[in-house]
Structure 1
Amino acid sequence: MNLEQPSLENLKTILTELGQYLNIANRGLLDPEDYNLEKYSDIKAMYDMIKQKGNLTALEAQAFLDELRKVRV
């Protein structure tokens, strides 16, 4: 799957995987309908960083959640 192209399907895939990496209990934060595709590159950059990093500390996970909140509509 090519996640480089902004699309609702790609956004959904990225947000689902972010939820798994960040161990988010409230998946309502990751509803693709709550995000603007214009912010896709920002979300994709966060996704790439998390995938590269692998295991996150609790503080790192919280920082990524805070950034996700900032790009929500």
Structure 2
Amino acid sequence: MNLSVKSQENMAYMLEQMQKQMQVVNTGVMRSEDFDVDQYEDLKDLYEFVMKKDHFSVSETEGIIQELSELRKSK
């Protein structure tokens, strides 16, 4: 997968991988259709950070979820 290409498909892939890495049960905040491609670079930066870590504290997980919430499209 070429993550240098901005696409909804790549965003879905990154979110899915972050869910697995962080072992997120409630994935409502991580639905790819809730994100705009304009936020791609920010999401990719967060993805790269998450994928480098093996374990997450509760506060780290909350912080990442908060970042994702802020990147979501306004409804």
Q: Percent identity over the alignment?
A: 27
Deviations 1:10-37 (A, max 9, x none): 0000010111122221222221110010
Residue of structure 2 equivalent to 1:18: 18
Rounded to whole Å, the distance in 2 between the matches of 1:54 and 1:2 is 23
Q: What pairs with 1:1-40 in structure 2 (closer than 5 Å)?
A: 1-40=1-40
TM-score normalized by structure 1? 0.91
Higher helix share: 1
Rounded to whole Å, the distance in 2 between the matches of 1:57 and 1:68 is 17
Deviations 1:20-70 (A, max 9, x none): 122221222221110010001001000101111221111111110000000
Query: Structure 2: any 5+ residue segments left out of the alignment?
Result: none
Task: Give RMSD over aligned pairs.
Answer: 1.0
SS in 2 for 1:4: coil
Residue of structure 2 equivalent to 1:46: 46
- Contact map agreement 2:22 2:55 (CA 8 A) in 1: no
Query: Structure 1: any 5+ residue segments left out of the alignment?
Result: none
Rounded to whole Å, the distance in 1 between the matches of 2:28 and 2:59 is 21
